[in-house]
Amino acid sequence: MNIMYKSTRSNSAKVTASQAILKGLADDGGLFVPDQIPALDIPLSSLPSLSYQETAYEVMKLYFSDFTEEELKHCIRGAYDDKFDTAQIAPLVKKDGAFYLELFHGKTIAFKDMALSILPYLMTTSAKKNHVENEIVILTATSGDTGKAALAGFADVPGTSIIVFYPKDGVSPIQERQMVTQKGDNTHVVGIVGNFDDAQTGVKQMFGSKELAERMNKKGYQFSSANSINIGRLVPQIVYYVYAYGQLLKQGEIECGDAINVVVPTGNFGNILAAYYAKNMGLPIETLFCASNENKVLYDFFQTGNYDRKREFFVTSSPSMDILISSNLERLLYKIAGEDPETVKGLMDALGGAGEYQITQEMRDKLTGFVGGFATEKETADTIRKVYKAADYIIDPHTAVAAHVYYTKAADTSRKTVIASTASPYKFTRSVTDAIDKEKYDAMGDFELVDELNRLSGVKVPGAIGEIRTAPIVHDTVCDKSEMQQTVERILGL
């Protein structure tokens, strides 16, 4: 089966997987979606015997149909190697009745590594296949974790350079430090005075500018995106849900065909969308729990069918989910609108203009299978403490948002539940130790807390943390949210 990609916003010509990866976003501003969601073509009973890499191949070969077996295996081998601190790549651990799918064993200790360690391989392979001569400029907005993971993936990759924008006051100290110490001659990091949505909007505007694209092309550059709107990020994220199902079988927790639940701490809706695709491929998933922090625009959407971004923005302890415009939701809207691009375009125009949209009852009826939930800051902290007390296991604030939704909405179902555990607690030491015992840890410095967390959890300090302790700061550019394009032009010498 040959899967092609089309835009969510118009019936323009279809493109191949490699072209969709290179472009990132469709010309009409829509997102690329596969023209059909392929079914898994191996029996579920074979999953327990597959390694992570083998599972990755079985999933990705279905979506990246214009890659040869050799090309795809090369990408997978290069990505999922000893950059990860465990051979399992994504271990599934049972704690207090739930199954935590640990997606933070890569280089930058957050789940973005799962896709961003393979994206540079997919991108350079795609460039070769399409005879691209230009240098590919990866332009990315980050709420904290994508930025570092993309920088780590693309640093010194020939034929590419990368520019990352992050909200100057909207990421954790460790996240910021990880980015501003990034090595690599082709890496650029810029803090903006604004929030993540501002950064994402600015990046989308640059992608949409034909005039800028032409000037870039003259200088031998073209943009691509490492954001989760890129199909080259979405597809690798499907893999670990399939892998988790195999692990549950292997651990004797379920029988072949048993349905499971999945809880995903959600921001841009990429991770949970991957779980939804996995379900549509035939993986037995009953309910997808979409867990939000206090920026609960998605919770409200699942409750009412109304998506309203006009609301107060909260900076929370789970900054990678401090998002009011969840880009990947567009791909779900496309599905529930019966794949009608006109409907999607109408909704997206309304979101851009009036700042809200309402879906029809018919569309809402197709959202069964999703349940929204959210955690306040207090509930998040309480859950970190609760899991620590119950299971001697320390989770980060993002995972805790999901765990709260698990305890309040999923724990009493008879289904086994997988919680996507999206970051190492070491990335958010202050929030985590505050949750456990604020009085005791309040006065300590960030790196002191690292040692404290090590003592509390018994989990080895990840290499990513050790490195940034001593690494010099090499990026200090800051600009206003209105100056993003000028900054890019200056960096590229346009």
When asked if residue 320 is in the footprint of ligand PLP (CB under 6 A), the reply is yes
Contact pattern for ligand PLP over residues 60 through 99, marking x by CB under 6 A: ----------------------------------------
Start-end of H helices in 281-375: 297-304, 329-336, 341-352, 361-365
Among 105, 386, 398, 404, binds ligand PLP (CB under 6 A): 398
Minimum CB distance to ligand PLP smaller for 145 or for 434: 145
Local structure of 146: helix, strand or coil: helix
* C-beta of 5 vs 269, nearer to ligand PLP: 269
Q: Is residue 434 at the binding interface for ligand PLP, with CB under 6 A as the rule?
A: no
Residues 6 or more apart in contact with residue 175 via CB below 8 angstroms:
144, 145, 147, 148, 166, 319, 427
Beta strands in 266-319 (DSSP E): 285-292, 306-308
Q: Does 423 engage in binding with ligand PLP (CB under 6 A)?
A: yes
| Span of 242-250, 260-268, 367-375, 465-473 interacting with ligand PLP by CB under 6 A | 260-268
Which class for 77: exposed (0-12), middle (13-18), buried (19 or more C-beta within 10 A)? middle
Q: In which order are the strands placed within the sheet that holds 92-95?
A: 92-95, 98-102, 417-421, 260-265, 285-292, 370-374
Q: Is 228 in the site for ligand PLP (CB under 6 A)?
A: yes
Which of 29, 106, 202, 270 contacts ligand PLP by CB under 6 A? 270
What HEC string does 365-391 produce? HCCCCEEEEECCHHHHHHHHHHHHHHH
Of 163-171, 269-277, 354-362, 456-464, the window that binds ligand PLP (rule: CB under 6 A) is 269-277
Taking the complex as a whole, how short is the minimal distance between the CB of residue 492 and ligand PLP, in angstroms?
27
Q: Kindly name the residue from 6, 23, 112, 409 that is annotated as catalytic.
A: 112
Q: Is 438 a catalytic site residue?
A: no
Please, are residues 126 and 21 in contact by the beta-carbon 8 Å criterion?
yes
Pick 107 or 129: Cβ nearer ligand PLP: 107
CB count within 10 Å of CB 442 equals 10
Instruction: Tell me whether residue 125 or residue 317 sits nearer to ligand PLP (CB atom).
Output: 317
Q: Contact between 265 and ligand PLP (CB under 6 A)?
A: yes
Q: Can you state the angle between helices 270-280 and 329-336, rounded to 10 degrees? A: 40
Contacting residues toward ligand PLP, per CB under 6 A: 110-112, 145, 228, 265-271, 320-321, 398, 422-423
Active site members? 112
